């Protein structure tokens, strides 16, 4: 991988056939909007299991290059059919609600772990060129089943390169923090709670990494072009104090502290000290390589080696969102948010 920097062009998809799993979710819809606007692929296949969401999405996107493919990542044979003749897979399908994963642990394993295994095997069998999987800060030192399944999914994806070999399918991951306004996130919750005059906060010290959907999509599109196989790409993104978010969105609300929930952390980590031993810093991202590169592909380790003991955590970040910046970002989701 060559040295990554903020001016890296977005990957040219014009002559590519691209599949996005979980394509009717928040990320998938944003990804489709973005690529269709400025770099439409030869074919863009939306692979998901919800026929109603596909119908609703098809009413918005009537372009000739878009196909809707009903299927579940748990179904390997269906995946093989969907990945025939495909160049690039963006793997965004997952069960991601922490309480739901805890209550339905087998379902979380089937989708997040076995589903990722199916993607890897179907991609190799179908001769797909590149697979880039979306991960989360909750995969680092996980304390929830969701985080644990995503950690395993990361390891499966990275070590999938050992199965594909030097000239075969290349697998890599993108890992980032909370996405502003995604379904089930804190922003929609606070916007709803604001109507009642009170807001619930688990811990007043809580911090989180934050990234917009658009920034996440752009980062993924860059990394598809940068990847050689085996990397975990981590963008440098700002942190946010949850109390600053509450003050920005619902300044008049009474705050009720309800205590940290099971499976939740006060602060999140995007790069751990253990990973830093085989990680590199580039201009606007960190790149973590496998500690067990059991394939012989030559990779140019770009950037500067991370120092011993380095970690990238939400409470010790160099970049923080101010209250006014939070208002500006959230205001794009809700026009009634004021400073």
118 CB burial (10 A radius; 0-12, 13-18, 19+): buried
Task: Quote the CA–CA distance of 56 and 54 in Å, as a whole number.
Answer: 5
b/e 3-14 (16+ beta carbons within 10 angstroms → b)? ebeeebebbebe
Q: What is the DSSP string of 100-146?
A: HHHHSHHHHIIIIIIHHHHHHHHHHHHT-SEEEEEEEGGGSS--SHH
User: pLDDT at residue 171 above 60?
Assistant: yes
Q: What is the DSSP string of 268-282?
A: -EEE-HHHHTTEEE-
Task: Quote the CA–CA distance of 227 and 141 in Å, as a whole number.
Answer: 24
Is residue 92 within 8 Å of 21, Cβ to Cβ? Answer: yes
Identify the CATH assignment for 17-177+212-236+272-310 out of 3.30.750.24, 3.40.50.720, 3.40.640.10, 3.40.630.10: 3.40.50.720
b/e 182-201 (16+ beta carbons within 10 angstroms → b)? beeebbeebbebbeeeebeb
Per-residue pLDDT at 185: 67
Q: Span 277-304, mean pLDDT?
A: 86
Higher pLDDT, 1 or 283: 283
Tokens of 41: 């692929």
Higher pLDDT, 200 or 14: 14
Per-residue pLDDT at 273: 98
User: pLDDT at residue 221 above 80?
Assistant: yes
- Write down the pTM of the prediction: 0.92
* Helix, strand or coil, per DSSP, at residue 75: coil
Per-residue pLDDT at 125: 96
CB under 8 Å to 34, separation ≥6 — which residues? 214, 217, 218, 221
To the query of whether residue 138 is one of the catalytic residues in this protein, the response is yes
Task: Name the active-site residue from 96, 138, 236, 265.
Answer: 138
Q: Span 73-101, mean pLDDT?
A: 97
């Amino acid at each position: 991988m060559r040295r990554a920097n903020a001016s890296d062009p977005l990957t040219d998809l014009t002559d590519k056939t691209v599949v996005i799993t979980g394509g009717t979710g928040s990320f998938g819809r944003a990804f489709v909007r973005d690529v269709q606007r400025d770099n439409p692929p030869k074919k863009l296949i939306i692979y998901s299991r919800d026929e109603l969401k596909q119908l609703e999405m098809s009413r918005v996107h009537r372009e000739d290059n878009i196909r809707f493919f009903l299927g579940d990542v748990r179904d390997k044979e269906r995946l093989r059919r969907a990945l025939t003749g495909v160049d690039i897979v963006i793997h965004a399908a997952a069960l991601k609600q922490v309480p739901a994963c805890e209550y339905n642990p087998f379902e979380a394993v089937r989708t997040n772990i076995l589903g990722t295994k199916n993607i890897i095997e179907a991609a190799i069998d179908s001769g797909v060129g590149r697979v880039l999987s979306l991960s989360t800060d909750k995969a680092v030192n996980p304390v929830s089943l969701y985080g644990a399944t995503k950690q395993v999914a990361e390891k499966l994806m990275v070590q999938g390169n050992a199965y594909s070999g030097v000239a075969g399918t290349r697998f890599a991951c993108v890992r980032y923090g909370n996405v502003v306004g995604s379904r089930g996130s804190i922003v929609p919750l606070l916007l709803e709670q604001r109507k009642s005059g009170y807001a619930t906060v688990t811990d007043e010290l809580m911090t989180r990494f934050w990234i917009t959907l658009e920034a996440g999509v752009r980062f993924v599109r860059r990394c598809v072009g940068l990847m050689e196989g085996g990397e975990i790409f981590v963008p440098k993104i700002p942190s946010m104090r949850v109390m600053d978010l509450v003050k920005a969105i619902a300044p008049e609300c009474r705050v009720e502290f309800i205590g940290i929930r099971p499976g939740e952390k006060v602060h999140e980590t995007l790069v751990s000290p253990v990973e830093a031993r085989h990680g590199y810093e580039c201009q606007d991202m960190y790149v973590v390589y496998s500690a067990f590169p059991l394939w012989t592909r030559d990779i140019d380790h770009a950037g500067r080696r991370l120092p011993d003991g380095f970690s990238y955590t939400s409470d010790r970040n160099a970049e923080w969102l101010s209250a006014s910046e939070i208002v500006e970002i959230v205001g794009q989701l809700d026009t009634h948010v004021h400073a």
